[in-house]
Structure 1
Amino acid sequence: MSRCRRQIETSIGSESAVCRLEIREVVERDARREAVPILRQLWSDADPDEILAWTGEDDYHLFGGFVDGDLVAVAGVLVRRVLHHARHAWLYDLVVDESRRSEGYGTELVEFVEAWARERDCESVALASPLAKTDVHEYYEGLEFDQWGYVIEKGL
């Protein structure tokens, strides 16, 4: 369960710990430009203009997590239907700013994406992760994601 939503027992009863994370879709070019430095923490070799362009593609949905008006995390998602996956949301990008990691914001964004995908009749949320990123695999397994195969590619 997210750190933000867990129940805390106190001497006066039970209350929720609430994050101040506001999540909304980032659509306008200037707002997407604000997300580029965070996305470059994942895609460090990508050109900033290239990142800005792909976040504006028609089917790509960029969600931002804001704390007190500051963008601290982003998630990039596409809804697809392919033979090996029924209708699903593919989570291309999930990045929390390095200075704000381990505060529960990534989990909040994943939970948001799951709810958003359910509303669009998706049967799952899927993603790819490099084999060497075992900490990333453990993170998603902790969120009840299952590893079911490999992504295999060949550069052209």
Structure 2
Amino acid sequence: MQIAFIEDAAGIDRSFELMSRLRPRLSREDYLAAVPRLMATSGYRLVGLEDGGLRALAGIRIGEWLHGGRYLEIEELVTAEADRSRGYGHALLAWIAAYARTQECRQLRLVSGVQRSDAHRFYAREGMAWEAKYFSMDLA
């Protein structure tokens, strides 16, 4: 098992299939344009777990809030359904937490859709607390 940042075009392209399981409305074309742009402009990074293929994937970004200091936000976290309950999500989350500590982040954050109850149970088992409600407003 190996965990590393995915930074090259070929790796980003290869990650699309797994990411599309979490973000099914995102086309390959839009994904391949957005990821490098986000990496260049906002510090977005892809992290992949390889074990005979890409098994788990995360999109992360470091931010800072006035009231809470530096934090690492997990924007996407996905493991293929056939690969769940094999420890891949746990290993990737632990790697991300360790990386956040090296970056002097005080907190690890993740926003998850209200319908993803299985994921919520996983996050709770991993020691994450539900501490806020997330509100949004479509502007289009």
After TM superposition, is the score higher than 0.5? yes
- Which of residues 99, 102, 105 is equivalent to 1:119? 102
Fraction of identical pairs, as percent: 24
- Give matches, 1:116-155, under 5 Å: 116-155=99-138
User: Match for residue 64 of structure 2?
Assistant: 81
Deviations 1:12-34 (A, max 9, x none): xxxxxxxxx20011000111100
Q: Are 1:38 and 1:95, in contact at CA under 8 Å, matched by a contact in 2?
A: yes
Letter of the 1:115 partner, please give it: A
Q: From 80, 87, 98, give the equivalent of 1:104.
A: 87
Quote how far apart the aligned CAs of 1:86 are. 1.8
Within 1, Cα distance between the matches of 2:66 and 2:127? Answer: 23
Which of 44, 47, 53 is matched with 1:60 structurally?
A: 44
4+ aligned runs moved over 6 Å, structure 1: none
- 5+ residue gaps, structure 1: 1-20
- Structure index of larger Rg: 1
Summarize the Cα distance change of 1:154–1:84 in structure 2 as closer, same or farther, 3 Å threshold.
farther
**Residues of 1 paired with 2:100 and 2:35: CA distance?**
18
Question: What value does the CA root-mean-square deviation take over the aligned residues?
Answer: 1.2
| Structure ranking higher in helix proportion | 2
Counterpart residue type for residue 44 of structure 2:
Y
Give the TM-score taking structure 1 as reference length.
0.82
The amino acid across from 1:102 in the alignment is S
What TM-score does the superposition give when structure 2 sets the normalisation length?
A: 0.91
1:44 has 2:17 as partner: no
